[in-house]
Chains A and B, each alone.
Chain A
């Protein structure tokens, strides 16, 4: 099953998931063309126009520095995509490599998977907090920390799946026809893992948003000057009654995006290879 038809099957007859997918496309569009869409500089401070109500020209109002909330939200979409895609890449590449290699080379696997067990003894948020203590606040480090946390679960899931695939007849056939380890791993096993990896990626993307927002809120995530939805909520939280728009818009954006990503993941999981269905626990 190729990725395109897998996608098409997944969304057939699922209106909510399709809506979620369209929403995510809009977020991606906003992220790519942020400088074109945003009417103002997201960092420009205007003390006179602070805490302006939503209207014209500030569609979502302004914050306590007088910065345009709409423009910040658009640039926040950019951070959302960067954090999400970055964490997914770190988690899937690191976790995927560990999981697949461990299942394929059993002796190495015994050693590596014990290490994964040890890391999984740390609850997810606690591990993120510990790692962040050792690093400076930056976009890259936030991605790294969240990616590492989800690399452990990814490793465990892919370990199980690769073990199942390894005992399939087509792998025996490949070995018999003289295929090398690289060829078996990349040409015979990996293509079968594409759809589970896509499902896992969408759930990691969703979790990563919530984790990143939580870290921002605790003052341990992205640097405070970076316009992300989490930072917007964190900085403006004391204005919740005086200027409610400052918390409603970024909050709703987070909820809608995470919800959409979960819906997409759920739809993809339901149309996934039945052999692996029980392996991925999303929402």
Chain B
């Protein structure tokens, strides 16, 4: 296990470095003077010259990269053109919304996806299985923004049960009840992902149910529901748990569309708005943060997976 952990850590670092080079090159791929691009249209020639000197834009590219990486490691991701604030604090202000949204979405995925998946697998081959697994596929085929628009129309505009947009921080008036702002968005984001989990739970339970130990359990006369839960589901849960981890990592960026539909002040909407505003330092910073988060979470999931299923680390 230790050897496996070290091996995975060692492969993570070069990948991270390579990804950071791509993120760094992003600003250089945009036509024009990078200093002028980072400062925006309103910058004076003096400011451009000053930033150019600071970032070493006249020096060789690899020195610029090292300077940029050094700053990034210290938490300095530059200054937003639009907000005139450090990029890191701009990203930080969206973190609460994004993390809460992803967490609530995960809760829905588990509450909805797991039981339906188990049902579908245990009723394998029956009409219940056909309806649930085709239904899951249908749910995964719905564009999230379209679903979100209809949820707003039905539950916010017509019924008035939930707010249609925005999200005040939990530390504002209302406290924990402000989570109601995230109810519709999290359901929207959960729909396609819960559908994928249903299909996955079903597939992995069917896989496990073909294994020898399940046949033994059945042969010795255990009750079918006990076999389903203790022998099949528990083993299938290993790969399902890994899928939960990967899904969570992907949710931060998948939320882009949902956050836009519901006008949530999260990191996803920040990306889109920064692209439309041509706020390149923020785009660059957000990409870097999301990529690092995504890779670290994926690594943790892989390690947890190897811990749960010792066969993985022995390969």
Which residues of A are in contact with B by a Cβ distance under 8 Å? 16, 114-115, 117-118, 121-126, 129-130, 132-134, 206, 210, 213-214, 217-220, 230, 233, 237, 240-241, 247, 251, 254-255, 258-259, 262-263, 266, 283
- The reply to whether B272 and A129 contact each other, CB–CB distance below 8 Å, is yes
- The reply to whether A123 and B15 contact each other, CB–CB distance below 8 Å, is no
**A123: contacting residue among B30, B254, B257, B275, CB under 8 A:** B254
Q: Is B137 an interface residue (CB 8 A)?
A: yes
User: Bound state CA distance, A27 and B305, in angstroms?
Assistant: 43
User: Bound state CA distance, A283 and B287, in angstroms?
Assistant: 27
**Residues 194-238 of chain B: 1 if any A CB is under 8 Å from the residue's CB, otherwise 0?**
011001000000000000000000000000000000000000000
- The reply to whether A219 and B138 contact each other, CB–CB distance below 8 Å, is no
Q: List 8 A-B contacts (CB under 8 A).
A: A118-B18, A121-B15, A121-B16, A129-B271, A217-B257, A233-B146, A241-B157, A255-B141
- The reply to whether A251 and B146 contact each other, CB–CB distance below 8 Å, is yes
**Residues 173-195 of chain B: 1 if any A CB is under 8 Å from the residue's CB, otherwise 0?**
00000000000000000000001
> Nearest CB to that of A206 among chain B residues?
B141
Known contacts A121-B15, A126-B290, A133-B275, A283 near B134 by CB under 8 Å: no
**A214: contacting residue among B16, B136, B144, B153, CB under 8 A:** B144
> Nearest CB to that of B278 among chain A residues?
A133
Q: Is B61 an interface residue (CB 8 A)?
A: no
> Nearest CB to that of A132 among chain B residues?
B275
A214 cross-chain contacts in B, Cβ below 8 A: 143-145, 256-257
**Residues 6-23 of chain B: 1 if any A CB is under 8 Å from the residue's CB, otherwise 0?**
000000001110110010
Q: Is B36 an interface residue (CB 8 A)?
A: no
A219 to chain B, nearest CB (A): 7
- Which of B149, B252, B290 neighbours the largest number of chain A CB atoms within 10 Å of its CB? B149
Count of CB-CB pairs between chains A and B under 8 Å: 120
Q: Is B294 an interface residue (CB 8 A)?
A: yes
- The reply to whether B295 and A121 contact each other, CB–CB distance below 8 Å, is yes
- The reply to whether B140 and A121 contact each other, CB–CB distance below 8 Å, is no
Known contacts A121-B15, A218-B257, A262 near B275 by CB under 8 Å: no
B140 cross-chain contacts in A, Cβ below 8 A: 262, 283
User: Bound state CA distance, A16 and B131, in angstroms?
Assistant: 11
- The reply to whether A240 and B257 contact each other, CB–CB distance below 8 Å, is no
Known contacts A114-B15, A134-B30, A247 near B149 by CB under 8 Å: yes
A133 cross-chain contacts in B, Cβ below 8 A: 26, 30, 275, 283
- The reply to whether B196 and A125 contact each other, CB–CB distance below 8 Å, is no
B196 cross-chain contacts in A, Cβ below 8 A: 283
- The reply to whether A218 and B272 contact each other, CB–CB distance below 8 Å, is yes
User: Bound state CA distance, A255 and B146, in angstroms?
Assistant: 10
A117 cross-chain contacts in B, Cβ below 8 A: 15
17 extra interchain contacts, Cβ-Cβ under 8 A, other than A220-B276, A241-B157? A121-B16, A121-B294, A123-B252, A133-B30, A213-B143, A214-B145, A214-B257, A217-B260, A219-B272, A240-B150, A254-B143, A255-B138, A255-B142, A258-B141, A258-B142, A283-B136, A283-B196
> Nearest CB to that of A254 among chain B residues?
B143
User: Bound state CA distance, A255 and B291, in angstroms?
Assistant: 30
> Nearest CB to that of A115 among chain B residues?
B18
**Residues 145-185 of chain B: 1 if any A CB is under 8 Å from the residue's CB, otherwise 0?**
11001100100010000000000000000000000000000
A220 cross-chain contacts in B, Cβ below 8 A: 272, 275-276
> Nearest CB to that of A282 among chain B residues?
B199
- The reply to whether B19 and A121 contact each other, CB–CB distance below 8 Å, is yes
User: Bound state CA distance, A175 and B313, in angstroms?
Assistant: 34
B279 to chain A, nearest CB (A): 11
